[in-house]
Amino acid sequence: MDWMFLALIVLGVFSIVSGKICEVPSGNANLITSLNKKLLRSVEDESEEANPSVYLGLRLSSTHSLSLELEYLAKLQTTLVPSLKSSLSEHKPQPITGLLALYALALRAACADPITATLNDKTVLQHLKQQLHHEKEHIANSNRPLTNYYQYSLGVLSLCVNGVRLNPHVIHKLTEAQKHSAFLHKDSASVDTEAMAGLAFQCLKDSAELYDALLNEHVQHALGAVKAQLVKAQDEKGLIGNVFSTPLAIQALLAMNSAASQCSTAVETLVTEMSLGTFHNPMAISHLLPVLHQKTYLDISKMDCTGEDDSLVLEPRPPAGDLPPEKVMVRVGVESSKAGPAIYTGRVRVPKGSSLHDALKEMQRQKPQEFSFETVDSLWGPYLTTVKGVMTQQENQTYWQLIKSPDTPLIEGIADYKIEHGDTFILRKSKW
């Protein structure tokens, strides 16, 4: 037998025996605590909308600041709930499956009762069930969900974690989507979707007694296929997809009780990336923290909110450093399709360390007649919706893709990507 293979088996057996699959190598406790604090600090930021995923990241950690978590839960109730209520009172179904699902998970993670919590006329879980019904109908009519399969999976996961029996047709649509490779996007988004579906399938498998044998067989098959795809997608550094999809992928593998050999390299790489400062977006941190504490979204169902640590204390915020006076040149091209010619090219000088968002703002300020753009807020930050008056839409599955010239799609949004001297970007209207 090959020594390498033997070593992997020994490592796997050891991890199962010690019950610590995907454990972070020792000596990184301070790094984990600093990430916990980073996420907690984002909660303090008054200018940011409350984000239920951030709340889940905090709750699925082993160290807490219980008072700040409680305040944040209250902020979720006062900011997210009115916007959910207003979307739910619209005539046409709105694409809020993911938000509703995260809110129901947040309530469960707070040990509040999502079964009795209401939004307008119904409970949160009833709304979520209905929302998934709309998603299923949308697939039947248009061959794709109202939102996307990531949110569809999140909805299934949330109901399942909350102990709700789902409509078997809703589950079947998800297993069929897996079978027909419908989770694939043209860019790297597919791994996140695969991972979220994997978490949903694992939860359904664990509650098999609620469903009939044939459906359980479909779920079991889809689960096996997702696991195989995630393992196959792993590169030599252990990354699955990219650095931002890997935490969710590892959560899925962890929930599926995968062997340590399938995540130890990935965890080491994630730790390296943490020390390089790659994880600064609160949303990205919220997906990573559970992994660092060997938790997954499935653990929310077991939370009882008793005897929790309350030792996390934030030091005073360090003063924000000024941007250096040095300026860098950025070029931006706008294309209305991949084959089409550029409809705009321009350049602008901005302080070193600026984001692409800063550069676009400066470009718009200098030449408002020639260049303009709009964004909407999302859980990941500002999402670019409109460039030079050209709007992208959910209904026709178009978006403004961010590309670093010549042809590398960015793996971060406009507010997170920090530009370097000589960068050239293409904003390209694309299909997904």
Binding-site residue positions for cyanocob(III)alamin: 147-151, 192, 242, 383-384, 400-402, 410, 432
Note whether 423 binds ligand B12 by CB under 6 A: no
271: left (phi over 0), alpha (psi -120 to 50) or beta: alpha
Q: Which is nearer to ligand B12, 198 or 382 (CB)?
A: 382
Nearest approach, Cβ of 54 to ligand B12 (angstroms)? 11
Note whether 234 binds ligand B12 by CB under 6 A: no
Instruction: Give me the 245-264 binding string for ligand B12, x by CB under 6 A, dash otherwise.
Output: x--x----------------
Tell me which of 111, 214, 367, 432 binds ligand B12, using CB under 6 A.
432
Note whether 413 binds ligand B12 by CB under 6 A: yes
In angstroms, how far is CA 393 from the centroid of its own chain? Answer: 21
Note whether 384 binds ligand B12 by CB under 6 A: yes
247: preceding bond cis by omega (within 30 degrees): no
Q: CA 382, 386, 388, 391: dihedral to nearest 10 degrees? A: 180
Residue 71 near residue 102 (C-beta atoms within 8 A): no
Note whether 379 binds ligand B12 by CB under 6 A: yes
- Buried b / exposed e over 24-35, threshold 16 CB at 10 Å, is beeebeeebeeb
* Cα separation values, 157 from 55, 69, 112, 207, 221, Å: 17, 23, 18, 11, 17
Residue 32 near residue 24 (C-beta atoms within 8 A): yes
Note whether 233 binds ligand B12 by CB under 6 A: no
CA–CA dist 327, 309 (Å, integer): 46
CA–CA dist 11, 252 (Å, integer): 20
Tell me which of 155, 238, 241, 333 binds ligand B12, using CB under 6 A.
241
Judged by CB under 6 A, the stretch of 19-27, 240-248, 266-274, 342-350 that binds ligand B12 is 240-248
The number of beta carbons lying within 10 Å of the beta carbon of residue 309 is 11
Nearest approach, Cβ of 95 to ligand B12 (angstroms)? 6
> If residue 155 lies in a helix (H) or strand (E), which one and from where to where?
helix 149-161
Judged by CB under 6 A, the stretch of 60-68, 224-232, 236-244, 364-372 that binds ligand B12 is 236-244
368: preceding bond cis by omega (within 30 degrees): no
Tell me which of 394, 421, 422, 431 binds ligand B12, using CB under 6 A.
394
Note whether 194 binds ligand B12 by CB under 6 A: no
Tell me which of 66, 133, 380, 390 binds ligand B12, using CB under 6 A.
380
Instruction: Give me the 65-104 binding string for ligand B12, x by CB under 6 A, dash otherwise.
Output: ---------------------------------xx--x--
Note whether 193 binds ligand B12 by CB under 6 A: yes
Q: Which residue(s) pair with 376 in the sheet?
A: 383
- CB within 8 A of 170, min separation 6: which ones? 132, 133, 135, 136, 156
Residues engaged in binding ligand B12 (CB under 6 A): 98-99, 102, 147-148, 150-151, 185, 187-189, 192-193, 241-242, 244-245, 248, 281, 284, 378-384, 394, 399-402, 409-414, 416, 432
